[in-house]
């Protein structure tokens, strides 16, 4: 899609921002309603689009975890601190709070909202992402 925009709109658009917006709107209508897409079995996006049954409520300001969880904020370099040890989790959660659920004396599950993203081995202070979370 972005290559198509670059080739079909960006290179030929002239004029002011209002003119660019009008050209892009014409392109969007054609792309979604007229052009069949090979990846969609030669249907248009408009033919296969279904409105989500889930309502989008925006990004939460804070994630609440159950009372038995420890909460740690992921710093800008993707790390948390637990028991005076620094453990790398992921930079993609920088600024967010993760929930740590103790499941044995030596291990904690790491949650982001309702998703279990991996576990921490407290003996070697290492985070191991779950295979599905690592993809």
Tens of pLDDT, residue by residue, the chain (135 residues):
778 777 777 777 677 888 888 888 999 999 999 999 999 999 999 999 999 998 888 888 899 999 999 999 999 999 999 989 999 999 999 999 999 999 999 999 999 999 999 999 999 999 999 887 555
What is the residue range of 113's domain? 70-134
74 and 43 housed in the same domain: no
- What pTM was estimated for this model as a whole? 0.62
Structural domain total, the chain = 2
CA 47 to chain centre: 26
Start-to-end Cα distance in the chain: 24
91 and 125 housed in the same domain: yes
40 and 74 housed in the same domain: no
Residue 59 in any domain: the answer is: no
All residues at 6 or more sequence positions from 36 whose CB lies less than 8 Å from its CB, including other chains: 42, 43, 44
130 and 75 housed in the same domain: yes
42 and 91 housed in the same domain: no
- Which residue do the tokens 């990004």 mark? 59
């Amino acid at each position: 899609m972005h290559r198509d925009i670059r080739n079909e709109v960006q290179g030929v658009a002239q004029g002011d921002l209002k003119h660019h917006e009008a050209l892009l709107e014409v392109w969007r209508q054609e792309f979604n309603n007229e052009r069949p897409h090979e990846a969609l079995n030669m249907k248009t996006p408009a033919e296969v689009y279904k409105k989500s049954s889930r309502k989008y409520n925006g990004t939460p300001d804070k994630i609440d975890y159950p009372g038995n969880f420890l909460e740690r904020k992921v710093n800008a370099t993707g790390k948390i601190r637990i028991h005076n040890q620094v453990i790398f989790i992921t930079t993609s959660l920088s600024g967010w709070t993760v929930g740590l659920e103790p499941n044995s004396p030596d291990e904690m599950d790491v949650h982001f909202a309702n998703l279990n993203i991996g576990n921490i081995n407290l003996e070697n202070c290492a985070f191991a992402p779950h295979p599905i979370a690592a993809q």
